[in-house]
């Protein structure tokens, strides 16, 4: 099942993470009305998790009962490892090379990051390559997927849906109470637990997986139609949720986080509508150049910190430019290097691991 029109949305999500880290003061983030959405990087990571569950369902769930239970765990895990680890390792080693003294003062950091375990231990998720924490979470999802599919094959999709809804409610309750407790403060162990621990994001992945399975059971080419209106409507809903969060907090008198699955229903509505579209948006987003940007979005996401560090050290002192100019030059470099990484690192390493170990 080809869903090329969804691929480019990964690039937009990754781009918002880059703006969150390095472009909060530049256009268009410096427009107050757009700030929350342009810099919605942490929320975009939640979109990645929902989309990941949905795509995993499309790729690995078997609708034919005679073929169920057929997932080859070794082949699957090798494919997932080959998908995320080579570029992740390059980015981590680049960061480690300039943080030797930091690593020497806390030797546990590097092994945890190398093993993709940093998000499990408060105090460690963002100590080296900051975006890498989300890959620690994603690796846990990849580990869980064969067992979640086995659950569906044995007990049915409804049982996993009930579990997913229950986990979503529990996660939101834990997040809301923790975020508004007297014990909470940024950069504390409690902060690391509620925002980075894989268990606090599992509900997003399961939501995407469940909806993806329902979609795969029901989707047919005859159901595809021009959903331009509903795509725009769903985008506006997401935009207003993100834009309105600070205003809603002022009205309610307590903090709200949109990062741990709270927006999963809105994200899934958008994904399903776009997946079923065969109108203007589908044709536009299926352009080869936009698909390429979507495919390269992982490298853009994971390489942003080391590339920004190199740019800041080498280029910034030699060019007297404004912050906005420097940001967009850096962004162009990052996009170009991400495409190079996709073609000459990601793709060859995937083929190598599949051929050698599968």
pLDDT at 220: 65
Residue 216, judged by CB atoms within 10 A of its CB (0-12, 13-18, 19+), counts as middle
Categorise residue 122: left if φ over 0, alpha if ψ from -120 to 50, beta otherwise.
Answer: beta
Alpha-carbon torsion (29, 34, 40, 44), positive or negative: negative
Closest CA to 325 of 23, 35, 37: 23
Q: Hey, what are 160's tokens?
A: 């996993």
Q: What is the pTM of this model?
A: 0.95
Q: How far is CA 12 from CA 229, 285, 295, 296, in A?
A: 20, 12, 12, 11
pLDDT at 265: 97
Residue 242, judged by CB atoms within 10 A of its CB (0-12, 13-18, 19+), counts as buried
Partners of 225 in beta bridges: 277
Phi, psi of 277 (to 5 degrees): -80, 145
Secondary structure in 3-state letters for the chain: CCCHHHHHHHHHHHHHHHHHHHCCCCCCCCCHHHHHHHCCHHHHHHHHHHHHHHHHHHHHCCCCHHHCCCCCHHHHHHHHHHHHHHHHHHHHHHHHHHCHHHHHHCCCHHHHHHCCCHHHCCCCCCCCCHHHHHHHHHHHHHHHHHHHHHHHHHHCHHHHHHHHHHHHHHHHHHHHHHHCCCCCCCCCHHHHHHHHCHHHCHHHHHHHHHHHHHHHHHCCHHHCECCHHHHHHHHHHHHHHHHHHHHHHHHHCCCCCCCCCCCHHHHHHHHHHHHCECCHHHHHHCCHHHHHHHHCHHHHHHHHHHHHHHHHHHCHHHCCCCHHHHHHHHHHHHHHHHHHHHHHHHHHHHHHHHHHHC
Average pLDDT for runs of 10 along the chain of length 358: 90 98 96 96 97 96 77 89 96 94 89 97 95 98 96 95 98 96 93 97 98 88 80 96 94 93 97 93 94 97 97 93 95 98 95 82
How many Å apart are CA 51 and CA 209, to the nearest integer? Answer: 9
- In the chain, what is the straight-line distance between the N-terminal and C-terminal CA atoms, in Å? 23
Q: How far is CA 266 from CA 56, 144, 273, in A?
A: 19, 24, 11
How many Å apart are CA 307 and CA 94, to the nearest integer? Answer: 9
Q: Hey, what are 237's tokens?
A: 């809903």
How many Å apart are CA 284 and CA 181, to the nearest integer? Answer: 46
Q: Hey, what are 242's tokens?
A: 């993100």
Phi, psi of 225 (to 5 degrees): -155, 175
**Domain segments of the chain: what residues?**
4-357
pLDDT at 1: 67
Q: Which residue has the tokens 């073929």?
A: 67
């Amino acid at each position: 099942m080809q869903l090329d029109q969804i691929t480019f949305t990964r690039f937009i999500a990754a781009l918002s993470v880059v703006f969150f880290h390095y472009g909060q003061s530049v256009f268009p983030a410096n427009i107050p009305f757009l700030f929350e959405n342009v810099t919605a990087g942490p929320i975009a990571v939640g979109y990645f998790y929902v989309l990941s569950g949905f795509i995993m369902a499309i790729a690995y769930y078997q609708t034919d009962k005679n073929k169920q239970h057929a997932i080859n765990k070794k082949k699957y895990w090798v494919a997932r490892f080959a998908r995320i680890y080579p570029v992740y390792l390059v980015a981590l080693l680049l960061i480690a090379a300039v943080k030797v003294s930091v690593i020497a003062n806390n030797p546990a950091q590097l092994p945890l990051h190398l093993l993709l375990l940093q998000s499990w231990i408060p105090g460690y998720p963002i100590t080296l390559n900051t975006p890498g924490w989300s890959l620690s979470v994603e690796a846990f999802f990849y580990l869980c997927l064969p067992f979640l599919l086995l659950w569906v094959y044995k007990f049915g999709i409804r049982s996993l849906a009930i579990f997913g809804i229950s986990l979503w409610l529990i996660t939101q309750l834990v997040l809301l109470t923790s975020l508004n407790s007297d014990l909470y403060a940024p950069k504390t162990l409690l902060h690391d637990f509620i925002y980075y621990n894989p268990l606090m994001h599992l509900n997003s992945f399961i939501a995407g997986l469940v909806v993806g399975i329902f979609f795969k059971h029901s989707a047919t080419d005859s159901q595809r139609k021009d959903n331009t209106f509903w795509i725009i409507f769903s985008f506006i809903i997401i935009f207003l949720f993100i834009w309105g969060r600070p205003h809603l907090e002022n009205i309610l008198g307590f903090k709200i986080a949109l990062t741990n699955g709270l927006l999963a229903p809105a994200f899934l509505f958008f994904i399903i509508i776009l997946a079923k579209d065969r109108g203007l948006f589908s044709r536009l987003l299926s352009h080869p150049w936009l698909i390429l940007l979507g495919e390269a979005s992982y490298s853009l996401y994971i390489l942003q910190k080391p590339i920004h560090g190199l740019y800041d050290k080498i280029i910034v002192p030699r060019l007297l430019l404004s912050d906005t100019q420097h940001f967009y030059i850096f962004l162009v470099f990052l996009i170009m290097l991400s495409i190079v990484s996709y073609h000459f690192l990601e793709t060859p390493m995937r083929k190598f691991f599949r051929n050698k170990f599968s």
